[in-house]
Chains A and B, each alone.
Chain A
């Protein structure tokens, strides 16, 4: 129940957005079954939201430790390139997935080591991989779009299971698994402890160093999954463009999810809803058919409105206004009673 209350603002925002887009595009909620799979704008959102949704899961954990991971977009490019390269080299689906995930783990270890052991500020430490990573990805693809034809790999981008797109299943399952792992064990609380005060949690016996490295590895793994989805989607690795600027969307998703960039309490469900909100905005703009010059302006405007409505200060004002109104009513009633007597 408390969990539901935690995500109520995000659910309300999503509902309001869906209503808004339906105004401009009446068929928005239409879902049909074509060739045994569900087809419609909502399904497109669930599918297209996969990369940011996956990144947001890892990013939530990193941000909960008062960190940030700017390298997830480039990690997507690297892991996507590794996946495409291994498929074309004939390592098979299992080999390609394993190598791509391994690349994600390595990226996470690199970031984690810089942050936890060497003690570089997270924003700078992850900036290093963010800027150099595309070069690494281009080395893997030799600077061209590395295409492949492999139905098993393509499944992760355009396949479906029980009528639901594979990318949607992948990010849904990842979010549920990570959320359960965090809340059914003490892990979530330990991460929050490190985020609130690393020194104090270390004194209390939490192995903060290992935990910090672990969250960056988790972020790298999520980025690897997102990279696999992006590469499978276009059946090719585009080192220049895969995951470009998606780290910013992932951070935005976490923020729309009401998580503080200062670390501490976090909610994966809320972050994932944040990712869905962003994707609904993106897809809604495309469906509404505005000229493309307006895309970013509309997106920025909507995000601003959402963040303002969710801001704690405004909530405080609402609360104060309600209290004042209530007090006035009570006074009015009191005076009415007094004059009545």
Chain B
């Protein structure tokens, strides 16, 4: 009898813990492959945790996001995930959510509103990403002289500024490493290839370049083609490190043509759901910024397998 009671209590407890929560997710849109992968992973994470996810695509418009959040509040969801398209103009709608006692978690980007208006923000530290890439290069060349060329992102964009700063921090103190040329490749493959061609021309046909640091994988993929066409071996004659960890760079790494990439994870929802779970269970307030891991992948980390795992995420 006693045993029956405990098992009944256990079932009841289990049921309440697994009780389907409803979470609204207001996504910016699907402007890039990374964004599409973030959407796919958020849906996957919700499904794994038995959460009922209400998804709304704002198609790059803030008014659509505000309308979506109001509709989530009206439906009485348990929590809201928001990937804000811009930083300003969220105060009133976030206050409405707060009055309805619905916690809001920001994904990937920040807002300029008061910190008390949202539970937490999950995102990546762009400076740290560059630092991880820089430290990899310091370890990889191990004291040897190294002249680095850098492919920057779009001039003036915050990822380009932060990833440049981070890399310089990463190689600070290593006097053997020097950035000799740095130009913008606009985050695209075509520009990455064109600018790499000019680097190769300017640096003795590539003989004077020891490594390439690209602010995203797409530019690195373009540069790899330029290096191959110049008759050099990317990955051996010129080391290649970039950021993002999109599927195509794993293909290049599997072929030995790229050396390392730092992941900007599209799984922002996982840490967000974890924080929400703890908050709802016993009211644990998470830190106001949850930094996602900037994981380093090299040729030793099964790049072929990583490619297979990522290729269907919508990148």
Contacts and interface: CB of A to CB of B under 8 A. Distances in A.
A301 interface: no
B195 interface: yes
B88 to A, nearest CB: 25
Contacts of B174: none
A40 interface: yes
A174 interface: no
Interface of B is mostly: helix
B201 A241 contact: no
Nearest to B194: A48
B190 A234 contact: yes
A39 B315 CA distance: 35
Given A35-B231, A147-B248, A287 B198 contact: yes
26 contacts: A25-B202, A34-B205, A39-B230, A44-B198, A44-B201, A48-B194, A143-B314, A144-B33, A144-B36, A144-B314, A144-B315, A145-B33, A145-B218, A147-B248, A158-B225, A233-B190, A236-B189, A238-B188, A238-B189, A240-B31, A240-B188, A241-B188, A241-B189, A241-B191, A292-B155, A292-B184
B213 to A, nearest CB: 14
A318 B205 CA distance: 44
Contacts of A147: 248
A143 B155 contact: no
Interface string A284-301: 001101011101000000
Contacts of B231: 34-35
A52 to B, nearest CB: 12
Most chain B CB within a 10 A radius of its CB, from A41, A44, A145, A240: A145
B222 interface: yes
B225 A292 contact: no
Nearest to B248: A147
A293 B314 CA distance: 33
Of all A-B residue pairs in the complex, the 10 with the closest CB atoms, nearest first, are A286-B198, A292-B184, A241-B188, A234-B189, A292-B183, A144-B33, A292-B155, A158-B229, A41-B201, A234-B190
Contacts of B56: none
Given A286-B195, A293-B155, A145 B189 contact: yes
A295 B225 contact: no
A230 interface: yes
A35 B205 CA distance: 13
Interface in A96-148: 143-145, 147
A283 interface: yes
A242 interface: yes
A235 interface: yes
A39 B229 CA distance: 10
Contact of B152 (A144, A234, A292): A292
Given A48-B197, A158-B225, A241-B190, 19 more contacts: A34-B205, A39-B205, A40-B201, A143-B30, A143-B33, A143-B36, A143-B314, A145-B248, A233-B190, A234-B190, A236-B189, A283-B198, A286-B195, A287-B198, A287-B202, A289-B181, A289-B202, A292-B152, A293-B155
B190 A238 contact: yes
Interface string B5-48: 00000000000000000000000001111001000000000000
A69 to B, nearest CB: 21
Contacts of A241: 186, 188-191
B163 interface: no
Contacts of A289: 181, 183, 202
Interface string A232-257: 01111010111000000000000000
B281 to A, nearest CB: 38
Interface in B49-89: none
Most chain A CB within a 10 A radius of its CB, from B182, B184, B201, B231: B201
B193 interface: yes
Nearest to A286: B198
A287 B32 CA distance: 31
Interface in A145-194: 145, 147, 158
Contacts of A283: 198
A242 B218 CA distance: 13
Contacts of A234: 189-190, 193, 221-222, 225
B189 A291 contact: no
A233 B248 contact: no
Contact of B190 (A34, A242, A286): A242
A292 B199 CA distance: 13
A235 B193 CA distance: 11
A201 B4 CA distance: 99
A287 B200 CA distance: 10
B112 to A, nearest CB: 26
Contacts of A235: 225
A48 B201 CA distance: 14
Interface in B172-216: 181-184, 186, 188-191, 193-195, 197-198, 201-202, 205
B158 to A, nearest CB: 15
B229 to A, nearest CB: 5
Interface in A285-321: 286-287, 289, 291-293, 295
Contacts of B197: 44, 48
B232 to A, nearest CB: 11
Nearest to B190: A234
